[in-house]
Amino acid sequence: MTNPGGAVPAPIPLPQHLTPLDGPAAPLGRRLRIAVPSESLRPLGETVADLLARLHAAETTVTAGPDGPDGDLRLALGTPSGPAAIHPPQGTDPRTAAFHPPAADIPTTPTGPDAAAAPAAADLSGAAGSTAPSLAPADSTPAGGPTPFGGREGYELVVDGDGRATVTAGDAEGLFRGAVTFAQLLQVDADGFAVPRVRIADGPAYAWRGLSLDVVRRFFTVDQVKKVVDLLALYKFNVLHLHLSDSQAWRLEIGAWPRLTDPRTWPGRATNADDGVRPYYTADDYREIVAYAAARFLTVVPELDMPGHVLAAVRAYPELQGPDEPVHKLLAYLHPRGDATFGFVEDVLGAVAALTPGPFVHVGGDEAFGMPDELYREFVARALEIGRATGKRVVAWQEAARSGALTPADVVQEWVGAGDEFDADAARERIPAEYHALVDAMAAAFAESARDVPAAVAAGTPVLASASSVMYLDRRYAEDSRDAAQTARRTEVGHESYPPRTCRELFDWTPGTLTEIPDGADLAGVEAAIWCETVEGFDDLAFLLLPKLPGIAEKAWTPARTEWDGYRARLASHPAWWEALGWHDHYRSTAVFGG
């Protein structure tokens, strides 16, 4: 599938350097040949072929070996030869867990007028004599600045006068990112496929670029999670954070604790997949997801949320609650002084760590409403130790800073966004009196939120930016849809406690200027989140994620601030790809697609 009228979509996220070259679009024929330099990289070639088939219905062949035939798309390991340097990524590498400090000269404003540059990129028609400007001139990098093509994901893509597209990178991950850019540039004409002549030098601004997917409130099958992976790969994300447990259900089997995944023990407020589908992941299911993601250079970060958000676990194993009665029937927490508690924590974290090849495990730590502060601190400190003892690095939500036990080896995930502060009075007016004890517990917990991230920064812990104000994608749309039925539906799908915002408002920020993160923080990266309390099926997921998700990708990848009009022009043609990848119900936002 390609775009109506043969228009060429410019890449999202926008590359660091993009220079159109003279000459018409290079013809590639009707069958695309992908050449990789060795048999060991044939799986990479096959993954790229799969992407091209899905996006463009392209027939492909993959050849391997240094002396094999030239391809229409050549993937070459080596040092790019172009004159431009790219900024290396800053933050925590999700594949190696290494932290990379920021370069001193990463730009925060466009290198040229974005209103002019982005339309030039959006119309790379390959007309002879094109003089469209580079989006980031090669000489814009000061001497002594970023290393050339720094980072494992850096690549160069050149479509030359002979009609060959070559991606050069020092690592297979960079080859894949460059191939994704090629896929976004590909167009069709009467003779088959063509690609504009262009030179791109590119790499990410942030090392960690993720999406947290709630598979608890709504269960998604393995095949549906793979569709999420495909979408993330299209926009150069590199982390899939799976939220696997919560109060409503437990979605990963744990051999030593079999009742966790018995739906008969769950509170009954989770939404499962279609009838007849097992509502949790077996170990083999989880391995399949991890392998599929890894082939597309996404690292899976599993989360087992504790000590709060555990009602499903406590219903299955009441001994985990300990002697204290929770303040409300919908609340529970793991009691640090219960006989079974830390044996449970060791078992479940050990099991998920053993299944996970990536270097991280997420232990939750958020919203332990009604749990006494002393017990919370005691539990989190011990859970962090247990997580580290699995051989993994530990990620936790921002409240974990209250334990005083975070270290520079951990990652803390900031989430309480400016403008989303909890309004207890409004909540009491909205809900029955029987839930007011729950409201009081929530108010007490959120009263401490402003101190969480500064405490983590003081401990030297890298901060993963996930501000609910701009990165929680279950927020309702403020603007209408071009589809009247969707406009009516937007009051039903999305969390009612967040003020609605337009897609444009959700694009108007940069990671380095979030007010929720204090100066001096080591920024680990950027991660959006989608919570599924209001999601009844996969179409609802599409409704909330799209068109918002690509904007998060651009903020996380592109160092220079890009402007709304240029971004919107580039995004306009992308729904055809969403359809091709199985995402059929994106929101037809008038802010993005016009009235």
Residue 165 φ/ψ, nearest 5 degrees: -100, 125
Active site residue 367: yes
Closest C-alpha to 547, from 517, 570, 522, 520: 570
Q: Active site residue: 367, 399, 479, 554, which one? A: 367
With b for 16 or more beta-carbon neighbours within 10 A and e for fewer, the 100-135 pattern comes to: bebbeebbeebbbebeebbebbbbbebeeebebbbb
The 10 Å Cβ neighbour count of residue 182 is 26
Q: Where are the beta strands (DSSP E) in 399-501?
A: 411-414, 463-465
The 10 Å Cβ neighbour count of residue 551 is 28
What is the C-alpha separation between 155 and 157, in angstroms, rounded?
A: 7
Closest C-alpha to 592, from 569, 559, 560, 563: 569
Integer angstrom CA distances of residue 216 from 33, 252, 256, 432, 508: 41, 10, 20, 25, 30
The 10 Å Cβ neighbour count of residue 574 is 20
With b for 16 or more beta-carbon neighbours within 10 A and e for fewer, the 193-231 pattern comes to: bbbbbbbbbbbbbbbbbbbbbbbbbbbbbeebbbbbbbb
- The DSSP symbol for 220 reads -
Closest C-alpha to 50, from 174, 202, 213, 233: 233
Could you tell me if 12 and 235 are in contact, meaning their C-beta atoms sit under 8 angstroms apart?
yes
Q: Is 360 left (phi over 0), alpha (psi -120 to 50) or beta?
A: beta
Parallel/antiparallel/unpaired status of strands 26-29 and 208-214: unpaired
Q: Where are the beta strands (DSSP E) in 313-392?
A: 360-364
What is the C-alpha separation between 207 and 556, in angstroms, rounded?
A: 8
- HEC readout, 49-110: HHHHHHHHCCEEEEEECCCCCCCCEEEEECCCCCCCCCCCCEEECCCCCCEECCCCCCCCCC
Could you tell me if 408 and 460 are in contact, meaning their C-beta atoms sit under 8 angstroms apart?
yes
What is the C-alpha separation between 14 and 230, in angstroms, rounded?
A: 19
Residues marked as catalytic: 367
